[in-house]
Amino acid sequence: MELKPKILVVEDDPAGGRMLRALFQSENCEVLLAPDGARALELVGSEPGLDVAFLDLGLPDLPGMQVLESIKKTRNELPVIILSGDTEIPSAVQAIQLGATNYFIKPINTGQVLAALRQILERKALLGQVQDLKLRLDGLARLMGPSATVRDLQEKLKQVAGSPLTVLLHGETGAGKEVLARAVHDFSPRSAKPFIALDCGAIPENLLESELFGHEKGAFSGAERKKEGQFLLAQGGTLFLDEIANLPLGLQAKLLRVLQERELQPLGSTRRVSLDVRFVAASNHDLEKEVESGRFRQDLFFRLAEFRIAVPPLRERLDDLPYLAQRFLEEAGVEFRRPVRGISAEALQALKTHAWPGNVRELRNVIRQGALLAQGGALELEDLAPLLKKTPSRARPVKAALSRAGMTLKQAGMEGLAESERTAILDALAESRGNILKASRALKTDNKTLHGKLKKYGIRAKDFEPGD
């Protein structure tokens, strides 16, 4: 049996109370009436299932603002919508400051009141769905999604977390390497100790050694006080070295020594300090190729890669995308105080067919911006299309792309492989530098068909023209 939303109406005028009850019952809501402030506070304390309260400020026993303040102290999460005959702006400002969700002046516009009610109930339903899924998901899945790929990743992490092995994560930017690094820490016996993350590419090379090892006062010009390095700050816990390929060769040798000897010497110090730290490293570069090119030490690579985990890009685990999109939409709604009901089928399909070169980080940015653009109701395709156009896919030679797929554009479309079709178009445009005639020839289709596909996927050929 489906539970009806439960609405509290605090109204001293019997006729007004009956009108509001009929209005909300038409929305399939259960309505409780309170004729004064005392009864309202009694119901707030005894009815935990309340979803929304509508409060008239002109009550016979207590000041309406006092009732509002008491409700928010007792049940801060309960949305309270004010209904008042007071047209003065300071009154509305005070109500909002005390925690009211909205403020309507009598005689009320029933359409606006119902719209406010629906928005609150829809947001609560969305939050409930996401929370329910979070409760059913375990560990890593709550952060990355419910797919079989994520479950396999979690099993690998659990296997290695309790060991002393150094873990190397490799995958594209934005795929979730830091999330996995934190999971290694959280699943390990070191979970109560610090987790320190350091982006090796974000710190100037001349400061990186001091950042890692720390220094004594006066160790170099500008060292005005002693500083603990990231190694020691992570003592007993885990140090995550992100984008390890950016580490200069000289520091690579010093890191190798730390990994082997488990001790270090801060800059300007004569003492050596024992180190008890679990190391996790990550890179979006192929470190084996970096070794071949001489940019990365082979001995350090083998020391870091005691246990390797490949982090799959988002396009290879699209089963997680609906969960992640809804989770990010929920977070944006809370942050911006602009709840969006959900994601339309057309918008979700567009998200699934996008190539996601920026992976989960890009998805989060697109959803956050879309939540700001949305005009209410669900997140629609028009809210997302301008954002998805801004991020073209990585270009690959069109011949190679088509030979790998083993199909022409027509075949890809017949098979219903929208992602293959879209990717082939993007690759052809990149190869032809935006020349539609050349792209259509490479794809073995005609200009008219290609123009239709460009419109379907929101692709602009001019984005691939030289100098654009």
Question: Mean pLDDT of all residues in the chain?
Answer: 84
Contacts of 224 (CB under 8 A, 6+ apart): 217
pLDDT above 70: residue 83: yes
- Out of 4-8, 87-91, 310-314, pick the least confident: 87-91
Q: Which of 35, 39, 100 is nearest to 72 (CA)?
A: 100
Q: Are strands 227-228 and 214-215 parallel, antiparallel or unpaired?
A: antiparallel
What is the DSSP code (8-state) at residue 267? B
The pair of structure tokens assigned to 403 is: 């030979």
pLDDT single digits (tens) 98-130: 989 899 998 899 999 999 998 888 777 766 655
pLDDT single digits (tens) 190-219: 989 999 999 988 888 778 888 888 878 877
The C-alpha atoms of residue 161 and residue 279 are separated, in whole angstroms, by 11
The C-alpha atoms of residue 465 and residue 468 are separated, in whole angstroms, by 6
Buried (b) or exposed (e) across 416-452, using 16+ Cβ within 10 A? ebbebbbbbbbbbbbbbebbbeebbebbebeeeebee
- Three-state SS string over 429-444 comes to HHHHCCCHHHHHHHCC
The C-alpha atoms of residue 378 and residue 390 are separated, in whole angstroms, by 22
More confident site: 452 or 419: 452
DSSP letters, 166-229, are -EEEE--TTSSHHHHHHHHHHHSTTTTS-EEEEETTSS-HHHHHHHHHEE-TTSSTT--S-EE-
Please name each of the domains of the chain with its CATH number.
6-134 (3.40.50.2300), 147-312 (3.40.50.300), 315-389 (1.10.8.60), 398-464 (1.10.10)
The C-alpha atoms of residue 118 and residue 459 are separated, in whole angstroms, by 36
The C-alpha atoms of residue 324 and residue 225 are separated, in whole angstroms, by 44
